[in-house]
Amino acid sequence: MTRSAIVTGSTSGIGEGIATALAAAGYNVMLNGFGDPTAIATLQATLASTYNVQTAHSAADMSQPAEIRQMVADAVAAFGSVDVLVNNAGIQFTAPTDEFPEDKWDAIIAINMSSVFHASKAAIPHMKAGGWGRIVNIASVHGLVASANKVAYVTAKHGVVGMTKVMAVETANEGITVNAICPGWVLTPLVKQQIQARADKNGTTFEEETDAMLGEKQPMRKFTTPEKLGALAVFLCSDAADTTTGASLSVDGAWSAI
């Protein structure tokens, strides 16, 4: 039977890369996320026709628990199961703690952290029923170390790493694995916005700020790509990874090694 995956936040960036890699590996895929409806429909149709799998899209807002539960129910209705859940949707906002807007704190905690709990809670019973499941949480190097001006993001990502461990322990003998991927810099719209904001603030070019930003934190001055993260997610879903659980896998050019 074809296995089925939900990838949250997969209309852009890392999520799109992981959804593409899972479709290429033969999984039916439910996409999720915001964006231009025509572009989303095209992505959905292209994955289906290129890889001969079923695809669907849920517009569920990851800040809304009821919509998250509905997304999981919709995937089960569409595909018959949810075997893989990739919790990837995320947003960013930067400011010092004493200036950090409360609405941004609430949104980041809800979308980047609480959604992982709500989606996993809804999906785990289906995985237990099938005796097989994979949860892959896209945390961040900021699930392991801090940076200034990212209080909500760092808090949320540390929470995701903690949640990964709890759920791995709870499901260890259910045929289910739960792991976190902790990327360093990946050049996606989320990061392009941060680079452009720095360039605007410092009166520099996008290229100058890219070099400066990579050099500040990451010993390897190279971006990770959504394709590389997709390949790792597919590995975590493979039988070879069936004892890899509760892990936080750094893909960060040695950022967290120093």
- Based on the residue annotation, tell me whether 51 is a catalytic residue of this protein: no
- Least distance from C-beta 234 to ligand NAD, angstroms? 17
71 forms part of the interface with ligand NAD (CB under 6 A): no
Q: What is the DSSP letter of 219?
A: S
Q: Of 114, 120, 140, 248, which lies in the binding site for ligand NAD, with binding defined by CB under 6 A?
A: 140
Work out the end-to-end distance of the chain between its first and last CA atoms, rounded to an integer number of angstroms: 45
Phi, psi of 168 (to 5 degrees): -65, -40
Please, which of residues 144-203 interact with ligand NAD by CB under 6 A? 183, 185-186, 188-191
Q: How far is the CB of 140 from ligand NAD (least distance, A)?
A: 4
Q: Check: CB of residue 157 under 8 Å from CB of residue 197.
A: no
Catalytic residue among 27, 79, 153, 223: 153
Which parts of 42-61 interact with ligand NAD (CB under 6 A)? 61
Strand ranges across the sheet with 248-251: 55-58, 28-32, 4-7, 84-87, 133-138, 176-183, 248-251
Q: Give whole-number Cα distances, 53 to 59, 76, 171, 244, in Å.
A: 20, 15, 28, 27
Binding residue for ligand NAD, selected from 24, 78, 91, 145, defined by CB under 6 A: 91
- Catalytic positions, written as ranges: 153
Judged by the rule CB under 6 A, the positions of this chain that interact with ligand NAD are 9-15, 32-35, 61-63, 88-91, 111-112, 138, 140, 183, 185-186, 188-191
